[in-house]
Amino acid sequence: MTSQISTSGAGRGDTGPAPTARLASAQLDTGGTRRELLPWVIFLASFGMFPVLFTSTYAHNLGVLVCLTAIMALGWNLLGGFAGQISLGHALFFGIGAYAAAVGGDILEVNPWLSIIAGMVLAVILSSLIGIPIFRLRGHYFAITTIAIAEIALIVFLNWSWVGGATGLSIPLQPDSLVNLQWSGRQRWEYYYLTLGIVIAILIATRFILRSRIGYYLIAIREDQAAAAALGVPVTRYKQFAFGFSAAAVALAGGLFAQYVLFVDPRSTFGLIISVNIIIAAVIGGVRSMWGPIIGAVVFYTLTEFTRLQFGGTGNALNLVFYGLLVMAIAAFEPNGLVGLGARFRRLMLHWRSR
């Protein structure tokens, strides 16, 4: 079997209408290994070389944030992009992960890896408990409920004195090592390659999920829940799986973030802006593609930094205006995001060449 995208050049004419680059269907398709290789090579080369080419603290810091955002957007996308359950409250899991690391470091004084894993487990358990009632809701109701739950968590943590209330918690300094998950160097090599490694692991996991029964079932649920159920898909169980996966990924990013900045407070971890940033990255890149969230995370930070450099401190709000416009444009013209735009462009080139 060749992949769907490759048919846009070769197998024209089998099916009547000219085959188009089919993002959703292409994700599920078999083989096409050569096609699949190119994005991997580009991704590994650019991300692998980035901190070598740009050695400033600033660039390294940016790289770490891009990787953390990519981890979250990839996780979110399995639920939001593939299973079609739009959560606007994933800051909840970011906060859980971040606070698990902080509580583990500052209060319980346990190894950060242990804390982060505990945070992920907690996030998965929480997602299953939340999932029971909210997966009865669909569409907007689901989305709105997820915001509400994250906001409740924010208020709880603002008022919970054991975890520092509104002031938050600091993670004490430890000697530099992988075990302690702390490095004090001016550059951020270690953090960068660690987070990049996790991005790669999640990408590989996503790829295997999409090409297994789970991937087919998740997309079937997004396309038509009733039809999926009629074909034997246990809808709630698969939604729970996607929810748990995304919760774990976002909690992992939260834990790493806390360990990176060594400080957490409720607003910067449970805040609505965290949920929104995850979605912006996924949506800009393209929610129906495995690579969308990666591209989205890169573009997100490039735009943020660009506006900050161009317009100084006040640029902070201006980047949000940009994202707003960009997300609106994507929703209106190319729901498959930049990846979809790329596919369109490629089709156009093929069309021109064949004339």
Partner 1 sequence: MSILSVRNLSKSFGGLTANRNISLDIEDGELVGVIGPNGSGKTTLFNQISGFTKPTSGTVTFAGKNITGLRPDRVCAAGLSRTFQIVRVFLQLTVLQNVMVGALLRHHRRADAERVAWSVLERVDLADKARARGDELTLATRKRVELARALATGPRLLLLDEVMSGLTQAEAQRAIALLRELREDVTIIMIEHVMEILMPISDRVVVLVEGEKLVEGPPAEISTDRRVIIAYLGEKFLANGQ
Q: Which is nearer to partner 1, 26 or 70 (CB)?
A: 26
Between CA 275 and CA 219 the distance in angstroms is 23
CB-nearer residue toward partner 1: 312 or 335: 335
Q: Pick the piece of the chain touching partner 1 (CB under 8 A) from 149-157, 211-219, 289-297, 303-311.
A: 211-219
What are the residues facing 169 on neighbouring strands? 264
Which is closer to partner 1, CB of 19 or CB of 95?
19
Alpha carbon distance 106, 44 (integer Å): 36
Q: Are 94 and 253 in contact (CB under 8 A)?
A: yes
φ and ψ of 86, to 5 deg: -80, 110
The total number of residues written for the chain in this structure:
355
Query: Measured between alpha carbons, how far is 141 from 224 in angstroms, rounded to an integer?
Result: 17
In this chain, which of 235, 262, 303, 318 binds partner 1, going by CB under 8 A? 235
Strand 169-170 and strand 263-264: the pairing is antiparallel
Side-chain-side CA neighbours of 90 within 13 Å: the count stands at: 36
Residues 6+ apart with CB under 8 A from 64: 188, 191, 192, 195, 260
Stretch that binds partner 1, among 15-23, 37-45, 168-176, 254-262 (CB under 8 A): 15-23
Does 220 participate in binding partner 1 (rule CB under 8 A)?
Answer: yes
The rounded distance, in Å, linking the Cα atoms of 353 and 53 is 35
Q: Does 316 bind partner 1 (CB under 8 A)?
A: no
Contact 134, 88 (CB under 8 A): no
Q: Which stretch binds partner 1 (CB under 8 A): 100-108, 113-121, 209-217, 299-307?
A: 209-217
Q: Is residue 208 near partner 1 by the rule CB under 8 A?
A: no
209 token code pair: 């999920």
Contact call for residues 112 and 118 (beta carbons, < 8 A): no
DSSP 80: I
Tell the smallest beta-carbon distance from residue 24 to partner 1 (Å).
Answer: 4
Q: Which is nearer to partner 1, 77 or 115 (CB)?
A: 77
Tokens of 3: 């992949």
What the block records as the tokens of 20 is 């188009």
CA distance 102 to 93: 14
Q: What 3-state DSSP class applies to 264?
A: strand
Q: Which is nearer to partner 1, 118 or 220 (CB)?
A: 220
> Binding of partner 1 at residue 344 (CB under 8 A)?
no
Contact string 268-297 vs partner 1 (x = CB under 8 A)? --------------------x---------
Least separation in angstroms between CB 25 and partner 1: 5
Asked if residue 52 binds partner 1 (CB under 8 A), the reply is no
Contact flag: residue 223 with partner 1 (CB under 8 A): yes
Which of 113, 189, 193, 216 is the binder for partner 1 (CB under 8 A)? 216
Q: Does 227 bind partner 1 (CB under 8 A)?
A: yes
Segment lying near partner 1 (by CB under 8 A), choices 129-137, 153-161, 226-234, 275-283: 226-234
Q: Which is nearer to partner 1, 77 or 268 (CB)?
A: 77
Does the footprint of partner 1 cover residue 232 (CB under 8 A)? yes
**Shorter beta-carbon distance to partner 1: residue 62 or 233:** 233
Of 73, 78, 124, 219, the one binding partner 1 by CB under 8 A: 219
Q: Which position among 35, 207, 211, 347 is part of the footprint of partner 1 (CB under 8 A)?
A: 211
Q: Which two tokens stand for residue 281?
A: 């990255």
CB of 5 vs partner 1, minimal distance in Å: 12
Q: How many Å apart are CA 302 and CA 320, to the nearest integer? A: 13
Chain residues in the site for partner 1 (CB under 8 A): 1, 4, 7, 11, 14-17, 19-20, 22, 24-25, 28-30, 211-213, 216-217, 219-220, 223-224, 226-235, 288
